[in-house]
Structures are given as C-alpha cells and as structure tokens.
Amino acid sequence: MKLGYAYDDTFLLHDTGTFHPESPQRLESILNRLHKTSYFKDMHWVKPNKLPFELIESVHNHSHRERFSVIQGKRGSFDGDTPYSESSFDAALLAAGSGVDLVNKIRANEIESGIALVRPPGHHAETGRSMGFCLLNNIAITAGYLLTQGIEKVYILDWDVHHGNGTQEIFYHSDKVFFTSLHQYPYYPGTGSVHERGEGKGENFTLNIPLPMGSGDKEYFHYFQETVIPSMLDFQPEYVLISAGFDGHRRDPLAGMNLSTNAFAEFTRLILSATKQIGAKTVSFLEGGYDLDALAESVEAHIAVLAG
C-alpha cells in the first residue's frame, strides 16, 4: 500500500516557547524513529504547498481569516495556550495545505493513503477562533476541500484524548461530514458529551464517545468494534480522515488515559478493514501527543499499519 507523508522543515520553526508541550521536538522524535524503520524509504514524500488563502474561508469565517493574516512575521498569542512566532503563519498554511495535497495525490493515483506529519495541530480551531495549540483546522479544511471536488461523504474520526471541538463545531449542521470523537471526559475543552449529536441537517451526524479517566485498550476496542466501525460502515464515506492524537497513551503527561502503543496499530487495522469494505480512502493528521518517546512509538505503530 503506497503511503504518502506530508512534511516540511518549516513545521520545526513554529516556536511555541521553551516550556510549551507542543514543541518542535515532537516532530523531530517522530522523524528520528521513522528513519530507523525498514519501510520509511518506500514511503512517498509529499512536499506540501501553502494553503491558498481563499480556502481558509471554506471552514473559517472572514474575521478569523483576518485575525490569522496579521500574525505573519510576528510573535504573540491567540490565548494562553496558543502562541505564535515569526514562522507560525507559514507553518500553519503548510500544515493546512498538507491534507489538500495528500488527497490530490490520492485522486491522481500517485499514492493510496496519506499522513500529514504537521504542526501546528488543528482540531481545536473553530470557525471563528484559534485555540488549544491550533491555528487553522487542518482536517476540517481538507474535508471542506473534498466536498468542493465532488466528494459527497467524508467521515472524520478523532481519537485524540481531547475532544475535537473545532471540527465538531464546523460541521455540526452538515450531513456530508460524519464526525466521531473518542476522548477523555470531562476534560479540556469541556465539550463532547453524548448529547451533542448535531443540529438541523447535521442531526445524528455527530457521534461523541466520552470516556472516563483511566480508560485503556479494552474500553477503546469495545467502542471501536461496537460503535465506531458500524457507524462508518453505515455512513459509507468516500474518505475517512483521522485526527490522530497520541496523547491517550498511558505515558502522556497531559492526560489520564491508559492506552498502550499497540492500541494505535489496532485502531488503524480496524479502520483499514472497514475502509476496504466500502472502498474509502484514508488520510491521517497528526494532532496531540506530548511524551516524546511514546509519541514516536505510537506514530510508528500507526504508520506501519497504514504502510501495509
């Protein structure tokens, strides 16, 4: 299975400060680990292009685009968690453009699946604001782009330990994007209860699986097999996009879940088994994960399955 990965060194220049957990070392640890694998040389590098500015407004509003545009070459912060530096504007446009480039490569039959090894992450960014380390919503922008290209159904699965509030909010009224999230609850950002199911046309196209602190492989596998995969098979999407956060790992310092490294390989196997049945394509997006060794091990486990 030919796996493409999007990456650019500019991602390392997004400077969040000395003690911020979302650091350049996260990507460095992943790449160092992947370079030691036997299959990395067979993966197809996709050098991302900056997202065309008009595509920002496919999921974000004009006010957010304006707020984002003025950070170019500057240092500051959108909130206490979400700093930016002189290179963050470029890094965010490349991160958001990575998913678009990967799906274009898939549609051109140059690769079969993809992973965006990017920072800043994206799933907390809402229609009108950056938050939670995220400047632009990378996965939502890719989903929105696919819908403009004749794709009728996109399934987004978010297994980051934090609820993907931004992605949910952006597609809450849509029946074209099915959003599913498994996350520690209650926890940052405070959203993601079982009662949040979408509104209007989007009613019942949002599926939240809030899990208590300490949940591990057994609990996650149960919901994957009994809830997530059936919802995917029922929806019959053409693309499955994954917000792949690895902060549910038992060694992660920012959360309280108990997942093993191997769990992320098993999640991926279950998803690929389902996408094979329905003929859907898969693109994964790096979100959280803050213990450097656990992050690198878990991303490798995920990619090893994606790469076949």
The one-letter amino acid at 79: D
SS (H, E, C) 28-62: HHHHHHHHCCCCHHHCEEECCCCCCHHHHCCCCCH
Question: Active-site residues: which are they?
Answer: 124
The CA dihedral of 230, 231, 234, 239, to the nearest 10 degrees, is -110
Residues making up the chain, counted from first to last = 308
Sequence-separated (6 or more) residues with CB below 8 Å from residue 186? 210
User: Cα(110)–Cα(240) distance, rounded to whole angstroms?
Assistant: 18
For residue 114, give the nearest of 234, 19, 29, 4 by alpha carbon: 4
φ, ψ dihedrals at 173, nearest 5°: -110, 15
Instruction: List the structure tokens of 236.
Output: 């019959």
- 185: Cα within 13 Å, side-chain hemisphere: 17
Whole-angstrom Cα distance, residue 243 to residue 2? Answer: 20
| Tokens found for residue 66 | 């304006």
Cβ(20)–Cβ(83) under 8 Å? yes
